Amino acid sequence: MNEDLARDISPHQPLVRETIERLAKAVHEGGRTMPLKRPPLVCKPKTIESWRVFKIMSEFVEGFDIIRRYGLAATFFGSARTSPGSDAYTHAEELAARLAKKGFAIITGGSVGIMQAANQGAFEAGGASVGLNINLADVQSYNPYLTEKFGFDH
């Protein structure tokens, strides 16, 4: 650890010192120890390795870069259990189509249910239909109405 930085840390802040040491170690070892592909981290804080914080941060940056491509965008959140033909599905599909015709990109989790309804409405209206999905152990598939799709581990 940088000795000047270590002197500046109050002796009453052991957590700060430990965090700095762990971060410095992660930066030093990260290039050697970080595998190219790991199973996704979903609520497993006890097994997190110190370098994984950089992977998580990189996914935030990547996600914001993706969203930045679209000037106007609307995000649909909802149940993956909503069936085609239900009132909720139909309303989401119609609203997304109307928004897409006005130039909005429609952004969802890219899976089924309300997400699929919104993507379908945008897709069929000729608009941008984007799916931002998380790579889960029990594979969550993409719906067929996406013009762009991206998967994240965290």
Check residue 31 and give its pLDDT. Answer: 54
- Whether 146 shows a pLDDT value over 50: the answer reads yes
For 21-43, what is the mean pLDDT? Answer: 62
What per-residue confidence (pLDDT) applies to 5?
47
- Residue 21 pLDDT: 75
Among the residue ranges 57-66, 101-110, 124-133, the one predicted with the least confidence is: 57-66
| Domain annotation for the chain: domains and CATH numbers | 66-152 (3.40.50.450)
Mean pLDDT of the chain: 82
Three-state SS string across the chain, please? CCHHHHHHCCCCCHHHHHHHHHHHHHHHHHHHHCCCCCCCCCCCHHHCCCCHHHHHHHHHHHHHHHHHCCCCEEECCCCCCCCCCCHHHHHHHHHHHHHHHCCCEEEECCCCCHHHHHHHHHHHCCCCEEEEEECCCCCCCCCCCCCEEEEECC
pLDDT band at 97 (very low <50, low <70, confident <90, very high): very high
For residue 47, the 8-state DSSP code is G
pLDDT in tens, 38-85: 555 555 555 556 677 888 889 989 988 998 999 899 999 988 999 999
